[in-house]
Structure 1
């Protein structure tokens, strides 16, 4: 009985491994098509200055330019910019569990080795979910800027930009001009001013910056 159980577990593990390898191969085949809209566009082209690009990376994924698409020691429980892109571009319906493993493998072995960090950043800025307003779901910083502030992304002042940035961990939780948004913007400013240390994606809600 014990031997049969071990055999069954081994069989299931093997089947899972084969499925995940297949998923990675399919993702690789889709890669050029999925990133084609962003290959000839830079963050500056969509209204993101170098300063604001640095702020985005500092707050959303502080080791983005150094990591390999995932962040250790917890790649399955955290979500980098690369993993966020995989979720948006390679899944019609994303669920936790095996899909998270698949997301992590695609980020590490398909997207990060083949897509430059600049293109990844442009794609992220163009596709990230920025909440719902008047029954319309908003995607991308430009649409978010126009919908929440009636301005283009490049026209936003610093606090307005930070308000959009503050939405990323929970777009409908941190809507601009709410108490939650203002509190998160305050924490973001603490990080940017060097008053609070933030080093890993696992700290994305900046709870360590909560004390006034």
Structure 2
């Protein structure tokens, strides 16, 4: 009798855990579906940053952000963005190999969609539990939103420096222009800063950032972006007619 009681209680606990998990996923799904017609008021990362002071972020619609920046970010972070369903399996395999070699999570292999899921709703802690939740939200984003909308959201919530979030705040902070006015050189530099935005904000454009930005410019014409505008893509040997001052 006691054994049956223990089994019953174990089943009850498992059922409660399943219900709690299902409810949490329904909450995330509701948040994602709301993004179809409503811009987020912030992100999980921004909420945490507000404890350190005022956050700079100004929402800009997709067409108000330079195509140079869209191309630069995809080249730097997720060149297969328009082709995949939220996951870069080659990148994931590479990250798993690095994590196994290190004995702990040190690489993520995250796509733009996965980064957006993390930025909007999760913490920055490296753990397999968080990666699983990130993957589930990324799948919801890919099913519920267009690629254009996912990229628009990412460009508006990505961190670009200390208390600097989104393309508009980044363009103003580093170059004193709007996100729509970013030149190809400026856009490439911003994309090169994404992996370590706080560090590069304090250190300025390091040699690595400049070299990475040059490489991004050379690759820019190779990437597809959703609904491109009509901005010209000069070859690396040609001067950029819209080039402004860099920091």
Q: TM-score, normalised by structure 2?
A: 0.61
Evaluate the alpha carbon distance shift between residue 21 and residue 72 of structure 1 in structure 2; reply closer, same or farther with a 3 A threshold.
Answer: farther
Given that residues 160 and 194 in structure 2 are in contact (C-alpha distance below 8 angstroms), is that contact kept between their aligned partners in structure 1? yes
1:138 aligned residue: 164
3-state SS of paired residue (1:130) = strand
Cα distance in structure 1, aligned partners of 2:156 and 2:220:
23
3-state SS of paired residue (2:39) = helix
Cα distance in structure 2, aligned partners of 1:13 and 1:129:
38
- What are the within-5 Å matches in structure 2 for residues 28-43 of structure 1? 28-34=29-35, 36-37=38-39, 42-43=61-62
Given that residues 167 and 181 in structure 1 are in contact (C-alpha distance below 8 angstroms), is that contact kept between their aligned partners in structure 2? yes
Equivalent residue pairs, number:
176
Which structure has the bigger radius of gyration?
Answer: 2
2:182 is the counterpart of 1:182: no
Larger relative contact order (Cα-Cα within 8 Å, sequence gap ≥ 6): 2
Offset at 1:106? 1.4
Offset at 1:69? 1.1
2:116 is the counterpart of 1:88: no
- Alpha-carbon displacement from aligned partner over 1:144-202 (angstroms, at most 9, x marks no partner): 000111111222222111111111122134445332321221232343477xxxxxxxx
3-state SS of paired residue (1:169) = coil
3-state SS of paired residue (1:37) = coil
3-state SS of paired residue (1:70) = coil
Cα distance in structure 1, aligned partners of 2:17 and 2:113:
23
Where does the alignment leave 5 or more consecutive residues of structure 2 unmatched?
1-6, 41-59, 97-107, 223-247
Cα distance in structure 1, aligned partners of 2:152 and 2:189:
19
Q: TM-score, normalised by structure 1?
A: 0.69
3-state SS of paired residue (1:86) = helix
Cα distance in structure 1, aligned partners of 2:82 and 2:175:
30
Given that residues 71 and 220 in structure 2 are in contact (C-alpha distance below 8 angstroms), is that contact kept between their aligned partners in structure 1? no
1:202 aligned residue: none
Alignment RMSD (CA, Å): 3.1
